[in-house]
Amino acid sequence: ARMLADVETLQGDPWELCPRSLLKDFLSRLAARGLQIQAAFENEFTLSDQTETGWEPVDQLNCFSSAAMDLASPFILPLIDALEQQGIKVEKYYPEAGPGQQEIPIRHQAGLLAADQQVVFKETVRGVALAHGYRVSFMPKISPAFAGNGCHIHFSLWDEGRNLFYDPAGEFNLSGTARHFMGGILKHLPALMALTAPTTNSYRRFVERCWSSSYTCWGPDNREASVRAASGYQGQEAATVNLEYRPCDPTCNPYLALSGLICAGLDGIENELDPGDPVLTDPALLSAEERRALNMNAYPTDLESALSALEQNSVLLSGFGENRITDYLTMKRAEISMLDSLGDEGERQAYEFRF
């Protein structure tokens, strides 16, 4: 059994720092424009089992290997069953690039349900693992030698059953609304990353040529871009064209992450922000001069840099409220200070099996 709830004051008013209430506020701002957001959080995580030497990934096999599927099946099959019994539709499953790494894309939901579903998904993954003698970690970068665990956010805006991101005449089937929303996200990206990549470990994942994205840009089906314009399914383009936000990992609070995307995207729509030219290649293959010419900036290299960008971002400060941002910065800087005192192994102990 579970209960997902807002945090309220004794007087029954929304608590000022309740992240679920914050997302409701942003959804109301969309609704005032006749808009609804559909979104899904696409998680990667590492599955481990107990060995004589401790907890180790369940396999060291190739990405997408059917043999890796077989090894993980005593966990994956009951997990899929548990998710679907709770109304979470599993769309795909496959072993990913890292040892023991799993990925399970799930069906999108409207607004608040998308963030609620992310909470239920992670709790279910952990609970099923415990019940079957496994452990899971959503830690962004368990080892420098392993692929990191991301949590890409797929999203689109809708109005009365119509996908407003789709335009059959637009470049890559993208509408002006999609381009403006994306322009807002790219403009505010360093500050957004304080919400979507919210741990010190998050920034170890952003490595060139690892499909984690490292530079501010967008592109069609470009997995090294900050925002990927995802092609629609053949014959279903009008319903399935969407955008994918990639510099995000499973340690994020989904209510804050989705609120941040809406806040930045609305700024893009209101000011008709241009996302710039699409990038059709891996940005790491371009020279520094070519990246500068495309206004392609490298990501923040650590959490403090992202927090500083958030602190100076007037759009997010206004949208979230200064008190929320101030308290978030205080909490995260205390976390940085604590982890700095522990060293790298302390970071692993703090994050590996706690997210």
pLDDT in tens, 305-341: 999 999 999 999 999 999 999 999 999 999 999 999 9
* pTM confidence score: 0.95
| Among 165, 43, 41, 36, CA closest to 114 | 41
Give the range among 57-66, 107-116, 162-171, 308-317 with minimum mean pLDDT: 57-66
Asked whether the beta carbons of 312 and 325 are under 8 A apart, the reply is no
Per the structure, the count of domains in the chain is 1
Please, which residues bridge with residue 50 across strands? 55
Residue 6 forms part of a structural domain:
no
Taking the C-alpha atoms of residue 350 and residue 139, their distance in angstroms, rounded to an integer, is: 10
**pLDDT given for residue 150 in this prediction:** 96
pLDDT category of residue 40 using cuts at 50, 70 and 90? very high
Residue 13 forms part of a structural domain:
no
Residue 52 forms part of a structural domain:
yes
Read off the pLDDT of each residue in 50-75 and give the average, rounded to a whole number: 92
pLDDT category of residue 354 using cuts at 50, 70 and 90? confident
For the chain, give the mean pLDDT: 94
Read off the pLDDT of each residue in 63-77 and give the average, rounded to a whole number: 94
Residue type, 37: I
Residue 12 forms part of a structural domain:
no
Read off the pLDDT of each residue in 149-166 and give the average, rounded to a whole number: 96
Residue 314 forms part of a structural domain:
yes
Domain span at residue 42 reads 19-351
CATH no. for residue 262? 3.30.590.10
pLDDT at 19 over 80: yes
Residue 108 forms part of a structural domain:
yes
| DSSP H stretches of helix in 216-302 | 237-240, 254-270, 288-293
Residue 23 forms part of a structural domain:
yes
Residue type, 286: L
Residue 130 forms part of a structural domain:
yes
Q: Scanning the structure block, which residue is given the tokens 């992310």?
A: 118
> Cβ–Cβ contacts within 10 Å for residue 80, how many?
16
